[in-house]
Amino acid sequence: MTFDLTFDNRFTRDLPADPESRNFTRQVHQAGFSRVKPTPVSAPKWVAGSKEVAELIGLDSKWLGSAELTEVLAGNALADGMDPFAMCYGGHQFGNWAGQLGDGRAINLGEVVTADEKHWTLQLKGAGLTPYSRTADGLAVLRSSVREFLCSEAMHHLGVPTTRALSLVLTGEKVLRDMFYDGHPEHELGAVVCRVAPSFIRFGNFEIFASREDTETLQTLVEHTIRSEFPHLLSGAGPDAEVGPDVIAAMFEEVCRTTAEMVVHWMRVGFVHGVMNTDNMSILGLTIDYGPYGWLEDYDPDWTPNTTDAQGRRYRYAHQPQIAQWNLVALANALVPLVKEAEPLQRGIAVYVEEFQKSWHSMMAGKLGLSKYESETDDELVDSLLTLLQLAETDMTIFYRRLADIELGTQEQPVALELAAVLNHLSEAHYVADEVTEEYQQALMDWMRSYQSRVLADDGFPANDSQRRQRMNAVNPKYVLRNYLAQLAIDACDKGDDSMVSELLDVLRRPYEDQPGKERFAEKRPEWARHRPGCSMLSCSS
């Protein structure tokens, strides 16, 4: 089978392969990958697919849902030209070096090259054992696979840099999982997601070779990465130009810049990754590995969706920018053996700090409908807002959308703001009515008046409520993949009803638009979901 796809498998061509062909758990040295085939499954069933991703990789959408493609994307067959493998990498997990990790349940099928010469790696998650599976089974369950499939596509349509998802397929088999690690495992439906990205190279790919002082393989990996993913850094020098310290430092600086941009987008939409280990950080500044993620519902900067992180909250929402910087330092340390000195890599870290601050300011100005960020006024305005959002349990997504609807008037004719009208607009964003106290109401009105003055004094755009609303609604989504919505789709799918997965995917394709008849997908978390498993915090079990 070809599906009219052409494969150009650069990673397996450029990197040294594991000489051991047998598939058993082991330490793999001086190799970038191990060749391994997916484990066949008994009764694959198509659940959902992304027509946009099919188009991206040059796959005719007529194949989506077909028996032939289902067999391939479940792991039962290979298309012509595929060269399946699992990557070798290490990583820091929760701040501690974990040694070799690798693709324990992800198998890269191969790299599709499209007519415009772009490369897209197809990767099956949940496709069975690899040499890096350690004590696990290499499989994935329905609940985590639904979440990964939907979130990959939701993030793309939100404008957040991300890996993509082509398909979600049930395997027809049961997988034993202890969801809460409390000694009560249960059998769950097995599933496989086909993930798609230009590359799945992570910070940890570099760390493993540096930790083993294997500079030869490290240099080979760096050269492959630059020639494949950062060829513009060799522009004018020819494709065979030497990849020296200056080019490596330039690559690192670009990684720092794109990582900053990615995290700012996370903060903009209220996304919390949950497991920002270095093996979950893409070298391309893409959101990768959707495990126990979540969206802020009530604005709580200390919230993390990961039960494993419940005590230390290392990967909480507000800490993500600092963690990204910490991870970049870990990557820099892995590159020092090739760059030979720290100073060029320290410049990259400085770029991250500068880029994040600049992008954060621009992002917050956009969320508030301002033409640009003015530190003299806006530092206090934003700080006061973030404090206000915590005085009463407030839904972040709904708050910004409803804020855009409040009429402020013009500089010549400002609207006289009234408490009752403001509260009426924002009531949908409040979770607990009793928390809307007199103290909160006073703080709210003080902030609203400051905000109104700032908007009406903004010379960058005409002071027009309609235009401000349009600007704000272009960056503040109405629809995000709330945990409880994902859980409802999982519950239905578990009973054989795939319709909500498809309906959610369709709604999330247009997250900034008002969609008549779909308002229920924009509602705040219902009370029944406050502490329900899958709707609040999640474990790493998947």
Other beta carbons within 10 angstroms of residue 527's beta carbon come to: 10
Question: Is 137 a known ligand-binding residue?
Answer: yes
């272009």: which residue's tokens?
474
Question: Is 300 a known ligand-binding residue?
Answer: no
Question: Is 530 a known ligand-binding residue?
Answer: no
Question: Is 280 a known ligand-binding residue?
Answer: yes
Query: Residue 142 in contact with residue 218, Cβ under 8 Å?
Result: no
Question: Is 138 a known ligand-binding residue?
Answer: yes
Bridge partners for 306 per DSSP: 538
- 117 — alpha (psi -120 to 50), left (phi > 0) or beta? left
Q: How far apart are CA 317 and CA 70, in angstroms?
A: 37
The catalytically annotated residue of 103, 279, 309, 378 is 279
Q: How far apart are CA 227 and CA 339, in angstroms?
A: 17
Q: Classify strands 164-177 and 186-197 as parallel, antiparallel or unpaired.
A: antiparallel
Query: Residue 63 in contact with residue 153, Cβ under 8 Å?
Result: no
Q: Is 155 helix (H, G, I), strand (E, B) or coil?
A: helix
Question: Is 75 a known ligand-binding residue?
Answer: no
Question: Is 22 a known ligand-binding residue?
Answer: no
């000694």: which residue's tokens?
183
Phi, psi of 406 (to 5 degrees): -75, 125
Question: Is 468 a known ligand-binding residue?
Answer: no
Q: How far apart are CA 71 and CA 54, in angstroms?
A: 16
Gap between the terminal Cα atoms of the chain: 31
Question: Is 202 a known ligand-binding residue?
Answer: yes
Structure tokens at 499: 């319709």
Bridge partners for 381 per DSSP: none
CA angle 103, 105, 109 (to 5 degrees): 75
Is position 302 annotated as part of the catalytic site? no
**Of 451, 278, 257, 227, whose CA–CA distance to 349 is shortest?**
257
- 409 — alpha (psi -120 to 50), left (phi > 0) or beta? left
**Of 150, 112, 154, 156, whose CA–CA distance to 9 is shortest?**
112
Helix, strand counts (H, E) of the chain: 16, 11
Question: Is 534 a known ligand-binding residue?
Answer: no
Please report, as a single letter, which amino acid is at residue 508. Answer: L
Q: How far apart are CA 167 and CA 122, in angstroms?
A: 11
**Which positions are catalytic?**
279
Residue ranges at the known binding site: 102, 104-105, 125, 137-138, 195, 202, 280, 289
Residue ranges at the known binding site for ATP: 102, 104-105, 125, 137-138, 195, 202, 289
Residue ranges at the known binding site for Mg(2+): 280, 289
